Amino acid sequence: MANQISPQTPKSYLKVNSIIHLALFMGQLLFGVLVMLEVPQKGIDITNTNNPFLFVVPVVAIGSLILSTILFKKNLGMAINNPTLKGKLMGYQTALITRFAPLEGASLFGIVAYLQTGNLLFILITGLIMLYFLSLRPTKDRIANDLNLSYEDKMLFDSDEVLK
């Protein structure tokens, strides 16, 4: 039996991107919940200046926000310049993944810092990253706006035709 790949439609494209986003978010959430259930909480402590995580976690969080935005804009620029809708959408998917990766890395790093210290500040920072991550959920309108789709591309994107 040969593997059959179903042709991609705008609906299936949105579904795939939503699944990628949800899977990455749920991985962060489940890991965070499991760690919180396992590690005794020590409250928020910002006075222990001997703890390197106190400085590194916020820097990594801010750095990941900046990096994810830069990578997304760079890849989005390449996607917008693609002549076909399918090419634009594939480029957009790449841009999304490169946007999500630094955020997820920073989130997981914050959870590991909490695992090592029990300091709730790191879970708070992780929670803020995860809220931002959640706000980036790909929708049809967001994709069309980000890609500056032409009228013809929007019509094709709203249809159930196979992407070419």
pLDDT of 141 reads 92
pTM for the full predicted model: 0.88
The residue-averaged pLDDT of 7-26 equals 90
Mean pLDDT of the chain: 90
Domain assignment of residue 159, yes or no: no
CA atoms within 13 A on the CB side of 20: 20
Q: Tens of pLDDT along 43-54?
A: 888 888 888 999
Q: How many domains does the chain have?
A: 1
Candidates 56, 62, 54, 84; CA nearest to 149 is 84
Domain assignment of residue 54, yes or no: no
Domain assignment of residue 73, yes or no: yes
The residue-averaged pLDDT of 10-33 equals 94
pLDDT of 1 reads 45
Domain assignment of residue 56, yes or no: no
The residue-averaged pLDDT of 131-139 equals 96
**Over 84-144, what HEC string results?**
CHHHHHHHHHHHHHHHHHHHHHHHHHHHHHHHHHCCHHHHHHHHHHHHHHHHCCCCHHHHH
Choice between 153 and 113, residue whose per-residue pLDDT is larger = 113
- Domain containing residue 109: 10-40+63-154
Domain assignment of residue 50, yes or no: no
Domain assignment of residue 15, yes or no: yes
Exposed (0-12), middle (13-18) or buried (19+): which is 126, by Cβ within 10 Å?
Answer: buried
Domain assignment of residue 130, yes or no: yes
Domain assignment of residue 76, yes or no: yes
